[in-house]
Chains A and B, each alone.
Chain A
Amino acid sequence: MERQSARHTATSDSDQYRRERIRRMNRNFFLHIHATKVHPHSLKPETTFGLGMILGFLFVVMLLTGVLLMLNYTPSVGQAYSSVKNIVHAVPGGRIIRNVHRLASHGMVIVVFLHLLRVFYTGSYLGGRTLNWIIGVCMFVVVLLMSFSGYLLPWDQLSYWAVTIGSNIAASARELTDLLGITKFLDVGGFFQRLLIGGETVGQPALTRFFMLHVIFLPVTLLVLTAVHFWRIRKDGGLSRPASVEKQEKLFSWPVVMWAELAIFIGVVAVVLLLAFFMDAPLLEKANPAHPDNPAKSPWYFLGIQELVSYSAFAGGLLIPVLFLWFMFSIPYRDREEEHVGIWFSGVRGRKVARNAAMISLGVVIVQVFVMVQFGWLRDWLPGISQWFVMLINPATITVGVFVLLSLQVRKRTGSSRMAAIALFTAAMVALVIFTVIGIWFRGANWEFVL
C-alpha cells in the first residue's frame, strides 16, 4: 500500500511528493542520520572522495568479521596461537574471514589518514565544525589503537615484540624521570606500562587486557564517536562547502544519497573481498619471549614512529606524538579564517605553501637521515655524551623545530593563520610518510640502513 503510494506520487511535483521523500528518510532510524535534503556540492566525488563513508563501511566489515573471529579465538597465552592457526586452516572460510579483517583494518588506517588530509585541506574544521574535527582526531587515535591492540592477539613473534616495544614506549617517560632522578618517587612511565599490560613484561595479563580493549572497549568507543561524528555533520548543516555554491538548490536525499552510498558500500566490499582472496594475513612463529626476530618490526603503519623511537624512546615515542596530537586538536583554535571553508588548499596560495612545505620537509628529513647513516650521530662523535642531548637533539626533534620555525615564518610572510597551519600540517604529514617509508623499506637487521 505504501509502496504503491510512493510510486504513484513519485511522478508528480506536489506537496505529497515532497512529503513522501522526507518521510522516507525521517521514518527510518538508520536513515535519519541523513538530512532529508542534501546540497549538490556534497554529492560531487571530489568533495570528499567518499572517504568518510568508506571508513564507516569498513568499520561494519570489521565488526562482522571480528565477531566471527571471536567465536573461534581463545585469549590465553597457551592457546591463542593454535586457535588462530585453527581459524586459518580448519574453520570453514576462516582464512578469508581473517584476511578480510586484516585488510579492512589496514584499509581503515590508510583511509582515516586520507580522510584527515581531506578534511584539513578543505578547511572543514571551521564554520562551526570545530567539535567534529576534535571528535574526528579522537577517532583517528582510536582506529590506530584498535589496530595496535589487535596485533597482540595471534600471539606470534610479531605480536609479542611489537607490543613489548609499544608498552616500553608507554614507559618511556622513565627516560625523562631517570634523567631528573625522580623515577623512585614518581614513576609515571611504569604506571602507564603496568596499566597497559598489567605487569613489567608482556604475558597473560597483557593478552587479557588487549583482548578486552580490542573487542569491547575500543569498538564501543569508536561506535559512539562515529554516531556523534555523523550526527554533528547534520547539526553543522551538512558537509563543508564554499560560499560560492551556497545558493544552489538542495536535492532530496531520497534516493540519490542512497544510490551513492550503496555504490560505495558495494565497492568497499568488492575490493576487500578481492584482495582477501589473494593476500594472506601473515602468521609468524609462535611468540618466543626469549628472542626477538631480527629486525623486529611493528606493523607497517607504526614504522614511522619506530624510526623516531630509534633516535630516542621518549622524544620519538611520547613527546613528538603528544605534540602532534596537541597541534591537531588546536588547529581550529589557531586558525579562524572562515572565508576559505570548503575550498581545497584555500586556493592557489595555499597550494604553493603546501608544495613548498612538502619540499622543505622532504629535504630536512632526508638530509638528516643521510647524515645519521653516513657519519653517525652525537654518541658516535662524542662518546659518553649526556642522555639529555641524545634525547633532545636528534633528527626527530630537529625536524619538529624546523617545522615550527617554518610555520612561524609563513605566518609572518603571509599574515595568514590558515597558511601557517597548512605549512605545519603538510610538513608534518610528509615527514610522517617519509619516516614510515624509511622504516618499511630501508631498515634491516639491527635497524641498520639498507638500500
Chain B
Amino acid sequence: MHDNWLIRCNSKGFYIFLVQFSQLQNDPMNRRGFVRKISLTLAAVAGALFGISFLKQFTARTGSTGKRRKVGYTADFPVDNYTYIDDLKIFVYRDHEAVRAVSAVCTHLGCTVQHTIDGFECPCHGSCYSPEGKVLSGPAPTALSWYKMEKAPDGALLVNLGETVAPGERYLIV
C-alpha cells in the first residue's frame, strides 16, 4: 500500500482510520475500492438531493397569509345552534353571549364530522369528540381545532383559519 495517495498526502491519522474502517468491514480497501466507495457515496447524496428537490417541484405552495375568511354577520347565526359553513368546513356556534368557530374536519383522515347532542361524530371511522372537541373514542389522534374569530370594520364576523385558540375561548359580542 506504499503508493497510497493518502500517505503521500501525509494525513496519516486519517489513513489509519481508513485502514481500521476497512478492516471492520473485513474488506481491505485499496485505492480503487476507496475511490469507488467515495464516488458511490457522493453519487448517492447527489441523487438524494436531486430527488428531493425534484419532488419538491411538485408540491403545492400554500401561503400562510390571507387565512381570514368572512362568514357573515352575527344575526345570520341562530342562537344555540351550530351552523355549518360549507366551503370552510367549520361550525360556527352562537350562544347568548358569544360566537366561536370549530373545525369540522376530522383529525383522523379528513372526513367532515357531524354535530350531535353529545358533541361531534365522524361518519368515516366513528371518531367521537366532546362538545369541546376533545377525542372521546375512535382513532382520531388530536382534538378538533377552535379558530380565532374577529370582527371586520363593517361588523362582519371573520374566522382566522391560521390561528387556533383554546376550546373555551369565545369571541364576545358587544
Contacts and interface: CB of A to CB of B under 8 A. Distances in A.
Interface of A: 161, 164-165, 167-169, 172, 174-175, 178-179, 191, 194-195, 198-201, 205, 289-296, 306, 309-314, 317, 376, 379-380, 383, 387, 390-391, 445-448
Chain A interface, >50% SS class = helix
Contacts, number: 94
Given A379-B136, A380-B137, A447 B60 contact: no
A339 to B, nearest CB: 30
B141 A178 contact: yes
B62 A200 contact: yes
22 contacts: A165-B109, A165-B110, A165-B124, A168-B108, A194-B62, A198-B58, A198-B59, A200-B62, A205-B60, A292-B111, A292-B112, A293-B123, A294-B123, A306-B125, A309-B108, A313-B108, A313-B109, A313-B139, A387-B142, A445-B123, A446-B122, A446-B126
A379 B29 CA distance: 56
Contacts of A292: 111-112, 123-124
Given A446-B123, A446-B126, A309 B112 contact: no
B118 to A, nearest CB: 12
Chain B interface, >50% SS class = loop
Given A205-B60, A293-B123, A310-B139, 8 more contacts: A195-B59, A198-B58, A199-B60, A201-B110, A292-B124, A309-B109, A310-B125, A447-B124
A295 B55 contact: no
Contacts of A201: 110
- State which size class the interface on B falls in: 20 to 34
A105 B112 CA distance: 29
Interface of B: 55, 58-60, 62, 84, 86-87, 89, 108-112, 121-126, 135-139, 141-142
Contacts of A167: 110
A169 B109 contact: yes
Given A292-B123, A296-B123, A194 B59 contact: yes
B126 A310 contact: yes
A164 B142 contact: no
Contacts of A295: 123-124
Contacts of A311: 139
A168 B59 contact: no
